[in-house]
Amino acid sequence: MGRLIVISNRVALPSGARAPGGLAVGLYDALRDSGGMWLGWNGEIAGPDADGALSTVTRDNITYATFPLAQHDYDCYYRGFSNAVLWPVFHYRPDLARYRRADHEGYLRVNREFAQRLAPMLRPDDVVWVHDYHLLALGRYCRDLGVRNRIGFFLHIPFPAAEVFRTIPPHQALAQAMCAYDVVGFQTDTDAEAFSDYCEKHLRTGREAGGLRMPERRLRVGTYPIGIDVDDVAAMAGKKGSSQEVALKLGLADRKLIISIDRLDYSKGLLERFAAFEQLLEIEPDHGSHVSFVQLAQSSRSDVQGYREIRRELDRAAGRINGKWGELGWAPLRYINRSYARATLMPLMRASQVGLVTPLRDGMNLVAKEYVAAQPPDDPGVLVLSQFAGAAREMRDAALIVNPYDTEGMALALDQALRMPLAERVERHRSLLQGLRTHDLAAWKNRFLADLRAPAKR
C-alpha cells in the first residue's frame, strides 16, 4: 500500500503536545498509521526577500512539508477569495461576499503552487487526500501536471444549493475543477445532493448511483460525516476533580450552567443565541439568578472587517443583557473572547447542564459531539442543537433541535432542557453516545480512505 499524502491549507506541525482539534487529530492518526506526508502553509507570511522554500521535518512516520505565503498571496487567496467569497457563500450568506477578480486569480495561483510543490514528491502508488474550501482547484492543477494518482477531496463546511453557489461569478470553473478529483466527500447528504444537482444542471454531467459520470471518467460523490474520539474526550472531561474545579472558579454555587463554545464568526448565530437567552429570562422568571450562560468565542480573522463588526455587536448585546438582568454577585451572561486548551474546555462542558450549539449554518460542528461525549452518564446535560448544523442529521432524535431564527422557540427549548427530568436526560444521552461511537473519527477516516483507494470505475 502506498503512502497517504494529506494536503490542507494549514499544517499542524509536531510540537510534542497532542494535536489541538478534531480534524488535526484525525489526520495525524491516519498518517501515523499508514505513513506519509502532510503538505500545507506554515502560517507565516514571507518577507519580500524570502525565497519561500519548502521546509520538511519527519516525526512518527510522518513528513511535514510546509512553506510560507507571500503577502499578496495571503491577501488574495486566504483573506480574499477563500474567506471573503467562498466562506460566506457556502454558509448561505452571499450578501456578505466581496468578489474581486484579482482575489480569484490569487486563489488559483496558490492552488497551482500547491500542486507544483506536490507533484515532484509523489510516488506512483501514493494516494492524495485534499481538505477544504481553500483548495477546491488543486486537483485540476495536479491533473494538468500529469499526476495520475488517486486524489480525493473532502469539504468540511456546507456546500450550498445550486442557485446560491451560482452567485460566485466563477462558479462553473470551480465545479469543473472539483470534478478532477476521484472522490469528493461531504458532511451531509444535503451537501452531496447540492453538488451533484449543480453538476447535473450546469455541467451536464450524468447522475448515477454513488456519483457522477463524465465522458472520460467517473467521480464518486459521497457523504462522510466526521466524528470524534469519544474515549479521548471523555477522559479529558472526567479527569478527577476537574469539573468541580471549573464550577468553583466560575462561582456557580448552585446555579445551572448553559455553555456555548465557538469560533467568533457570523455563521455561528451568536447574536440570535444571546437574544434567545434574554428571552428565556423574560418569559421564565423562575430561572432568575439560578442560571448562568457562558459563551466562549475565540476571535478569528480579526483582519477581516465583518469580523470586527460582529464582535462590536456582541459586546453591545452582552452589556445590555447584563445591565438589565444582572445583580450584585451575579452576571447572567459571561461572554469571553479568548481560546482555551481542550483539557480546560472538556471539564467545562461536563460541569454544564445545557450545551447550546445553534449555528445558522455549519458543516458538522464537532462541539456538539464533544459536549455529549464529555457528559457524566449518570447525570448528563442536555444538548440544544440547531437544525442547520450537520450534526443534527445524526442527533435529531435525542438532542433538542431548534431553528436559530426562532428566538422564542430557542428560549422554550432552553427552559425544557433546564427542567428536564433525570431519567429523560439519561436516555437521551445514551442514545446520542451510541451514535457517536458508531460514527466516530476512525469510521470517518476509514470510510473515506477505503473509497479513495478502491479501483477506479470506468
Range of the domain at 204: 4-227+441-453
In this prediction, residue 305 has a pLDDT band, given cuts at 50, 70 and 90, of: low
Residues 21 and 165 in one domain: yes
In-domain check, residue 275:
yes
Please tell me whether residues 204 and 258 are part of one structural domain. Answer: no
**Secondary structure, 3-state, the chain:** CCCEEEEEEECCCCCCCCCCCHHHHHHHHHHHHHCEEEEEEEEEEECCCCCCCCEEEEECCEEEEEEEEEHHHHHHHHHHHHHHHHHHHHCCCHHHCCCCHHHHHHHHHHHHHHHHHHHHHCCCCCEEEEECHHHCCHHHHHHHCCCCCEEEEECCCCCCCHHHHCCCCCHHHHHHHHCCCCEEEECCHHHHHHHHHHHHHHCCCEEECCEEECCCCEEEEEECCCCCCHHHHHHHHCCCCHHHHHHHHHCCCCCEEEEEEEECCHHHCHHHHHHHHHHHHHHCHHHHHHEEEEEEEECCCCCCHHHHHHHHHHHHHHHHHHHHHCECCECCEEEECCCCCHHHHHHHHHCCCEEEECCCCECCCHHHHHHHHHCCCCCCCEEEEECCECCHHHHCCCCEEECCCCHHHHHHHHHHHHHCCHHHHHHHHHHHHHHHHHCCHHHHHHHHHHHHHCCCCC
Query: Residue 55 has what pLDDT?
Result: 92
Question: Can you tell me the mean pLDDT for 331-335?
Answer: 92
pLDDT, tens only, 190-199: 999 999 999 9
Q: Is 298 within a domain?
A: yes
Please tell me whether residues 351 and 281 are part of one structural domain. Answer: yes
Residue 177 lies in a domain: yes
- pLDDT tens for 210-258 read 999 988 889 999 999 999 999 999 999 988 766 555 655 566 667 899 9
pLDDT at 17: 45
Q: How many domains, the chain?
A: 2
> Do 222 and 280 share a domain, yes or no?
no
Whether 278 is in a domain gets the answer yes
Instruction: Please indicate, yes or no, if residue 163 is contained in any of the structural domains.
Output: yes
Whether 202 and 285 map to the same domain: the answer is: no
Residue 34 belongs to some domain of the structure: yes
Catalytic residue IDs? 156, 362
Q: Is residue 374 in some structural domain? A: yes
What is the pLDDT, as a whole number, of residue 20? 47
Tell me the pLDDT band of 342, cut-offs 50, 70 and 90: confident
- What is the average pLDDT across 377-402? 97
Domain co-membership, 411 together with 445 = no
Same domain as 187, residue 238: no
Each residue's pLDDT tens digit, 167-192: 999 999 999 999 999 999 999 999 99
Which range of 56-60, 154-158, 298-302, 337-341 scores highest in mean pLDDT? It is: 154-158
Evaluate whether residue 458 is within a structural domain: no
Give pLDDT tens digits for 401-415: 999 999 999 999 999
Find the range with the poorest average confidence among 2-16, 24-38, 257-271, 393-407.
Answer: 24-38
Query: Based on the domain organization, do 276 and 240 belong to the same domain?
Result: yes
- Greater model confidence, 198 or 18: 198
Give the mean pLDDT of the chain: 91
- pLDDT for 327 equals 85
Domain at 132, CATH number: 3.40.50.2000
435: confidence class by pLDDT, cuts 50, 70, 90? very high
pLDDT over 80 (residue 300):
no
Within this chain, do residues 148 and 203 fall inside the same structural domain, yes or no? yes
| pTM score | 0.93
Is the per-residue pLDDT at 289 higher than 90? no
Do both 330 and 187 map to the same domain? Answer: no
User: Are both 45 and 29 inside the same structural domain?
Assistant: yes
Q: Are residues 10 and 132 in the same domain?
A: yes
